Chains A and B, each alone.
Chain A
Amino acid sequence: MFDHKEQQGFMTLAIGADYLEMAYLQALSIKLVMPDARYCVAVDASTQDLITDKQSQVFDYVRTVPDTDWPMDREPDLFASSPFKETIKVEADLLFTRNVDHWWSSLRLKPVVLATHCRNLQDQVVVDTGYRKFWVDNDLPNIYNGMMYFRFTREATEFFQLARTLYKHYNHIRDNVLINCREERPSTDVVYALAAKMYGVENCTIPSLDYFNFVHMKPHIQGWAGSSKWTDTVMCETDPPVIRINNINQLNPVHYHVKEWCTQELIEQYERA
């Protein structure tokens, strides 16, 4: 079941052509700032057929997950399919802007580490926002699934088995346990928050690890009224690996969130860098 090839690396789930492109851009960004970093993309069979030669050269590993019409169902499978003993799993729409090698030694303190906060583009920690009312209502831990770490251990195995069980019984939990749950199908943010609560928040978070987080470009996290996309709201300049948004160089990973921002032009810019 487990097939670990290397000690550590980054991994994402990419199902569909758009996510494959974003994963490729992410791999380019990681290798630009950490040339020795290893990268794995998990795809379904149909997405695997879309992988181009130049993408294959950047992806160190491609792992296949079962086909699904709801990609988030496959998230817990990444633990088993990772080729790394230690994995930093990130969402595909997230770019790295500087070397984060120092993260590994801190993340090893726990078998599973979930990000507990995110930042705005001014590098300020944003703990609670209008998006998190559901978490407050249900007394769920404020975790952000854009980024997580796991190490191949018995404890981590338990965590992901628990997550898988929650996915399986989501309809019952949604209708009978959760308050004001409007998510018809399970999202990783909700399921992993539930899993963290049941597993023990203290066992899968390190709140004092204030650098294990990312800049989240949702408008409310930025303190902007309205729901316009950030790409329509503020100026962004890219000079890989530098990403400057609203005149501030972003030093933390950028969860750009707006899929259309990943253009062919941007990918070519990273390829040339």
Chain B
Amino acid sequence: MIQVLLEERCVKCNLCVNICPTNVFEKRKGEVPVISRQDDCQTCYMCELYCPVDALYVAPNADEAVEISEQELLTTGLVGSYRTNMGWQKGQKPVAAQDPAYKFYLPSGV
């Protein structure tokens, strides 16, 4: 579930509000958005992927909220890791161009 929104990183672009398929975030005038419907989160990680400044962290736990402190989180190096792994960070190329699925698990096209 979406767990952390790092307010000091957030640039208030509200992209997460726009792109969340289950409408978890709420826009606020002049302020950073808030996670207002955490229970509706389907743990699809799309908000993290779209966040241009790595201000969001989705915990992998789908059924329950698991508290994690911002400080603790920042030491893990996990914030923004999905975006990096997909090649969506600024200056990166999409990793889809290196997708090796054809080499090993889709050999016969299934």
- A and B: interacting chains: no
| Residues of chain A at the chain B interface (Cβ within 8 Å) | none
